[in-house]
Chain A
Amino acid sequence: MEQPVKKGLDLNRRPMPKQAVEVRRRNFEEVALGYDSRLAMEEAARCIQCKKPGCVERCPVEVDIPAFIQAIAEGEFERGVRILKSKNSLPSVCGRVCPQEEQCEGGCALLKKAAQIAIGRLERFLGDWEAAQPDLMMPEIAPPTGKRVAVIGGGPAGLTVAGDLVKLGHQVTIFEALHKMGGVLVYGIPEFRLPKRIVEREVEYLRRLGVKMVVDYVVGKTRTVDSLLEEYDAVFVGSGAGLPWFSEMPGNNLNGVYSANEYLTRFNLMRGYSFPLVPTPVKEHVRVAVIGGGNVAMDCARTALRMGAETTVLYRRSREEMPARLEEIENAEEEGVIFRYLTLPTRCVGDERGWVKGLECIRMELGEPDASGRRSPVPLPGSEFFLPFDAVIHAIGNSPNPLIPQTTPGIEVGRKGNIIADPQTGKTTKPRVWAGGDVVTGAATVILAMGAARRAARSIHEYLTNPSEW
């Protein structure tokens, strides 16, 4: 392949090809189409290969970013995949959902010139390139150790632990409560942002590596952790943060008021966008409010929009403070989602049949920065107003499900119900039990869950190979 020639600094960040706004607003197919190899090589060639790369410093799993970018620039995609996958086993996923502007791209030397390398897009390119190859690159698998590990939860944390441990020769079984593997990647994040076939492909890959997967199995109910410990040498808990919060206001139990989890699950896991072809019903709403400003809120808003509703995001701070990925905020804006900043809903108002008909809100003003460093919003007295909606979706956060801590004596939890685990090793307060991902951190990100899982896998492996030293 011809190598693009580097002449001086190329500040032209290659744009991501996308479905046209008018088309994508009405379908559930993926918005971003991905770089082709020409675009990827051009973008990669812009990297100046820093001696002390800021990107790597800010990557939670320390991918050797300049090295894989160099490989792309040289057209050596297979080498690029190998470099990338030695640190990140789910590049097609992370390339699509990581908050790159806060991580790698936020540390890029070219950021000053507003020309940071599109690292996420390049990562996605390699992941997708590999998947398109006729032969899957299979890693080496160590000889069987005879040790057995039970993994609870089939989200990014569980999948990562399973992948790492199976390669080391251990027998791994994942127990997943839902009927599909993938965690938030299948029930939460919509098709138009992360096509489900990509998650299925990663799951299939693990299955080929020998990971056993049991779906429809709720640990704590179908079987307890203690009972698993009788059969398995170690247990990893990666059960996520699936318990939805509702903002405290009257009227939340009216019909037409949803948790983001319910709303997204109906559409993603249960494929409600095909109703009535599939049996799980979804409502047709005319005017939808989404409360919150994170990725979850963007996903709800863009789903509602695609179902034909006029959709408004209500966020109590301003655009700058919104925690969602920048790219998704921009996509939502382009698609026509309405944003009302500095707005706090205070009451869901219902009609005589028990359906929501709107929200009472109050205007906010930004005050002093709070503990998280974000400026905290304060209500402006006398600024109350009413907005009509026939559906309201709460997307203000989730905490860990208490099911496992409640049924597992010896596991300590923190104030918010998160399992306490050593950040370096993932060890919990219960012997032979490790934990990682959202169940430990509270709702966070895919890459942080993967990073924690990697460290836990290392610690579990140490234990399994040398249990007497523990």
Chain B
Amino acid sequence: MFTIFENRMIVPNVYQMTVHAPDVAQSALPGQFVIFRPEEDGERIPLTLADWDVQAGTVSVVYLNVGRSTAKLASSKAGQTLPTVVGPLGNAMEIDRYGAVLCVGGCYGIGSIYPIARALKAAGNTVVCVLEARSSFLLYWQEKLRAVSDQIVCLTRDGTSGKRGHIGSLAEIIRTLPMRIDRVILNGCNYLMMRGSQETLPLKIKTIVTLNTLMIDGTGMCGVCRVSVNSETKFACVHGPHFDGHQVDWAEVTQRRKAYLQEEVIPLRTTQPL
């Protein structure tokens, strides 16, 4: 049992949760994920680590309330417990001194890029963060990210904060930056990662994405997280979740992500309290 320290909505429908899991915090590395089970008999859902605190023994995640299990998570309160918090799983993001790195986050990905930006900065890189959202009221953690990066670019579809545009404007943003970008890291929904990879391909900038496939165990046992990377089948949980965005078969990733779409909505068509 893992005690919830904090759970709150940070922007509409996006939540930040901090739980007590000292062994996970102790081993956590940037880019790794955890699996939460919100309730007994509950589904196992993978979530990227957005932060951790070894001293306090806590780990934090940022999640979007999209379905039955995340709705259940969203409704839990500080002081309550989660039956499962297991991790840290997957490989860490490769961190090296690349030069200038662009970290792009959208939706929950704004939280996910935080530890990566922090580690890249500590390794001596120039870090530029691009935060993408529909509108300014969906942006969060700017202060936190500013502390670990050299520049922040906000990108909103309605132009209410920073530049007006969306992930399709990424190439243009890169061109207008004062420095040459040596590496791009994309984290967010499938569309953001796919579209962003398309933008950086003609620029020939190495682009790393963090796939959010379906998973059950997260340790390589079930294989539901299969993806084709450079025409080879990989398990996102053990070989990833970070892959070269230019080599991922995005059509397949998108299809596989939708496998249970229909089943996911069945339990939501209910008036029962969660």
CB of B166 within 8 Å of the partner chain: no
- Using CB atoms, name the residue of chain B closest to A252: B233
- Max chain A Cβ within 10 angstroms of own Cβ: one of B39, B216, B223, B228: B223
Closest Cβ of chain A to B25, distance in Å, is: 10
B contacts with A: majority SS:
mixed
Q: Given A218-B219, A242-B220, A283-B263: A223 and B69 within 8 A (CB)?
A: no
CB of B189 within 8 Å of the partner chain: no
Interface flags, A254-287, vs B, CB<8A=1, else 0? 0110110110011000110001101111110000
Q: Given A244-B223, A276-B266, A353-B255: A221 and B27 within 8 A (CB)?
A: yes
Neighbouring B residues of A270 by C-beta, 8 Å: 41, 43-44, 216
Which chain B residues in 54-109 approach chain A with CB under 8 Å?
Answer: 68-69, 72, 83-89
Closest Cβ of chain B to A260, distance in Å, is: 10
Cβ contact within 8 Å between A266 and B223: no
Give the docked Cα–Cα distance between A177 and B23 (Å).
13
Give the docked Cα–Cα distance between A223 and B37 (Å).
20
Cβ contact within 8 Å between B221 and A261: yes
Neighbouring A residues of B227 by C-beta, 8 Å: 253
Cβ contact within 8 Å between A222 and B41: no
Interface flags, B170-183, vs A, CB<8A=1, else 0? 00000000000000
Give the docked Cα–Cα distance between A280 and B68 (Å).
10
Neighbouring B residues of A401 by C-beta, 8 Å: 219-221
Cβ contact within 8 Å between A223 and B23: yes
- Max chain A Cβ within 10 angstroms of own Cβ: one of B39, B68, B86, B228: B86
Interface flags, A198-236, vs B, CB<8A=1, else 0? 000000000000000001111001110000000000000
CB of A403 within 8 Å of the partner chain: yes
A: number of interface residues (CB 8 Å): 40
Chain B interface size, under 10 / 10 to 19 / 20 to 34 / 35 or more: 35 or more
CB of B246 within 8 Å of the partner chain: no
CB of A388 within 8 Å of the partner chain: no
Give the docked Cα–Cα distance between A265 and B228 (Å).
23
Cβ contact within 8 Å between B219 and A177: yes
Give the docked Cα–Cα distance between A252 and B84 (Å).
31
Cβ contact within 8 Å between B219 and A222: no
Cβ contact within 8 Å between A179 and B220: no
CB of B124 within 8 Å of the partner chain: no
Which chain A residues in 157-199 approach chain B with CB under 8 Å?
Answer: 177-179, 187
Interface flags, B137-155, vs A, CB<8A=1, else 0? 0000000000000000000
Q: Given A217-B23, A281-B264: A259 and B87 within 8 A (CB)?
A: no
Interface residues of chain A, those whose CB is within 8 Å of chain B, are: 177-179, 187, 215-218, 221-223, 242-244, 246, 252-253, 255-256, 258-259, 261-262, 265-266, 270-271, 275-276, 278-283, 353-354, 401-403
Interface residues of chain B, those whose CB is within 8 Å of chain A, are: 23-24, 26-27, 37, 39, 41-44, 68-69, 72, 83-89, 216-217, 219-224, 226-228, 233, 238, 251-252, 255-256, 258-260, 263-264, 266-267
